[in-house]
Amino acid sequence: MMTGSLLDRLPQEILRLLRLIGSYADQRRVSCYLIGGVVRDLLLGRDNLDIDIVVESDAVEFCKPLAQRYQTALTVYPRFKTATLTWDHRFVVDFSSTRKEAYPTPGALPVVVEGTLKDDIFRRDFTINAMAISLNQDNYGTLVDMCRGQDDIRSRTIRVFHAKSFEDDPTRILRAIRFQERYQFQIAEETREPLRQAVEGKFWQYVSAGRYFEEFKKILKEPNVLCCLDRLQDVGGLSFFSKEIVWTPAKKDHFKRVQTILLWMQEQGIDRTALAVWLVYLMILISDQPIEKVQDIVNRLSLSRHDSRKIISCKLEQEIVKRLDMNCVKPSQVYNVLKSMSAEEILFFLVKTHGQPPEMCIQNFLTQYRNVHLCTRGEDLMRLGICDGKRIGATLQILLERKIDAGAMTKEQELSLLQEMDFI
C-alpha cells in the first residue's frame, strides 16, 4: 500500500529531513524506515514528532558521516548501539539498528543481536506500535505492516505478539493500559488473559524498580492519568510500589484538584513550564505512608536526589499547615515558609490545604509575595556606608520582608524605611 500521503501529514521541515535521510541511505545502499509510535499516530491522525528511524545496518556508523555532512549534533549511545541527531537545535531524530531480542529470563534485559526489519517488528510490544514506513527512494512512503497493525488500529485494539510478551517485559503491562486509555482502545481478548496473569504473578518484581517506574512515570504524564490509574487499580497493577499504596477516592480528588490549580495558574499567568506535575501526583499517591516507607519507595525508584528530596518533603505537610495556619500570619512569614520550596512542593501543599486557611496564604504567595522585588541594591547600601557583605544581605532581607508586608514601596520609601529602622 502506498502511503505517500500518510507521510505528507508530517510538518514540511520533518519531511525534508526524512527525504534527505532516505537519499543518504540510498547512497549507502541501506534500507531505512520510520517506525513505531510515529507511524501509529500518523495512521490515527495524531501529532507526534518523536521520530524513530531504524536502519538495516549499524546505526552509529550510519549516523556519523550523516552528522558530519549536515553539521548536526550527534549523540551516540554505544551500549545500545543507537544514535540521536539533532537538526537546527530543534528536530531530534533517533536512529537504531534493526535487531532481534531474546529474553533469557522473565523481566531481564533482552539479549540483543543484529536482525532484519522483520525481527525488529516482531520484538515490539503491540501490533499498533510495530509498523514502519520506508524512506528509501524506490519505495518511499510504503507502509510495512507485517502484523495486521492497521487492522488493529481500525478496530481500536491493543494486541501483543505472543502470550509470553508481558512475562518477557512486564513494563508492557503499563504500556498496554496507557495506550488503552490514551486512545480509548480495547485490549484484545487473547491479550487480556496474559496481562491479567502478569499482574497476578507480580511479574514487575523481575524488572528493576527504576525501569518499571520509568514506564509508570509516563502514565503520570498522560493527560488522562486519572483513567489510567482507575484501570490499573482495576487490574491490581498499582501494588508494584508496595501493597499499601491504593488509589482511593480522596487521592483521585487530589489529582483533580491538581488539574484545577493548573488551570488557575494559567489564568493567573504563573509560569508552569518547569513544573514536573508527575512528581506532585507521585507525592499524592504515597504521602499517606509513614516517612520510612516513603523513603524506601523513593530509594527503590532510583530517582534523582533532587526529585527524591522534593518527594520526601510531602511528609512536611502537617508542619507547613501549622506554620501557615496561625492567626494573623503575616505575608512575610508566609514568604519565608515557602520561598525556598520547589514549584512541585508548593503545588502539593496547595492541593492538600484546599478549603483551609493556608490555601489562601499559598495562593497569595504565588500571585503576590514572590513577585515582590526591592528597588534598593547592595550598591545603594554601600553608598550609605554599609560595607560588610553579611550585613548588606541581612539588611536587604529585612527590607524585603517589610516591603512584602507593606504591599508596595518606591525606592525612596525603601530608603527612608531603612533610616527609620536605624539601619543606616
> DSSP readout, 294-340?
HHHHHHHTT--HHHHHHHHGGGGHHHHHHHHSSTT--HHHHHHHHTT
Q: Quick one: which of 159, 172, 231, 251 contacts ligand ATP (CB under 6 A)?
A: 172
Nearer to ligand ATP, 125 or 145 (CB): 125
Q: Give which of 401, 404, 303, 293 is closest to 344, Cα–Cα.
A: 303
- 159 belongs to the binding site for ligand ATP (CB under 6 A): no
CB of 384 to ligand ATP, least distance (A): 58
Grid cell at residue 220: 503520570
CB of 300 to ligand ATP, least distance (A): 20
Instruction: Tell which positions 99-138 bind ligand ATP, by CB under 6 A.
Output: 124-125, 129-130
- Phi/psi of residue 239, each to 5°? -75, 5
Cα separation, 9 vs 215, in Å, equals 28
CB of 89 to ligand ATP, least distance (A): 21
CB of 143 to ligand ATP, least distance (A): 15
Q: Give which of 206, 146, 217 is closest to 1, Cα–Cα.
A: 146
Q: Is 86 exposed, middle or buried (0-12, 13-18, 19+ CB in 10 A)?
A: middle
Nearer to ligand ATP, 171 or 180 (CB): 171
Q: Quick one: which of 22, 36, 141, 331 contacts ligand ATP (CB under 6 A)?
A: 36
- 142 belongs to the binding site for ligand ATP (CB under 6 A): no
Nearer to ligand ATP, 128 or 286 (CB): 128
245: left (phi over 0), alpha (psi -120 to 50) or beta: beta
Nearer to ligand ATP, 223 or 357 (CB): 223
Nearer to ligand ATP, 72 or 129 (CB): 129
HSE of 279 in the Cβ direction (CA atoms, 13 Å)?
24
- 170 belongs to the binding site for ligand ATP (CB under 6 A): no
Nearer to ligand ATP, 47 or 244 (CB): 47
Q: Is 296 exposed, middle or buried (0-12, 13-18, 19+ CB in 10 A)?
A: middle
Q: Give which of 234, 23, 56, 219 is closest to 138, Cα–Cα.
A: 23
Nearer to ligand ATP, 198 or 351 (CB): 198
- Beta-bridged to residue 113, according to DSSP, are 100
- 37 belongs to the binding site for ligand ATP (CB under 6 A): yes
CB of 217 to ligand ATP, least distance (A): 11
Nearer to ligand ATP, 102 or 387 (CB): 102
The answer to whether 368 and 408 have CB atoms below 8 angstroms apart is no
Instruction: Tell which positions 173-212 bind ligand ATP, by CB under 6 A.
Output: 175
Cα separation, 228 vs 177, in Å, equals 6
Cα separation, 95 vs 21, in Å, equals 11
CB of 13 to ligand ATP, least distance (A): 20
Q: Could you give the string, one character per residue 240-279, with x where binding to ligand ATP holds by CB under 6 A and - elsewhere?
A: ----------------------------------------
- Phi/psi of residue 384, each to 5°? -90, 5
Q: Strands 99-102, 143-144: parallel, antiparallel or unpaired by DSSP?
A: unpaired
Q: Which stretch binds ligand ATP (CB under 6 A): 17-25, 46-54, 224-232, 361-369?
A: 46-54
Q: Which stretch binds ligand ATP (CB under 6 A): 147-155, 169-177, 263-271, 411-419?
A: 169-177
- 50 belongs to the binding site for ligand ATP (CB under 6 A): yes
Binding site for ligand ATP (CB under 6 A): 36-37, 48, 50, 52, 124-125, 129-130, 169, 171-172, 175
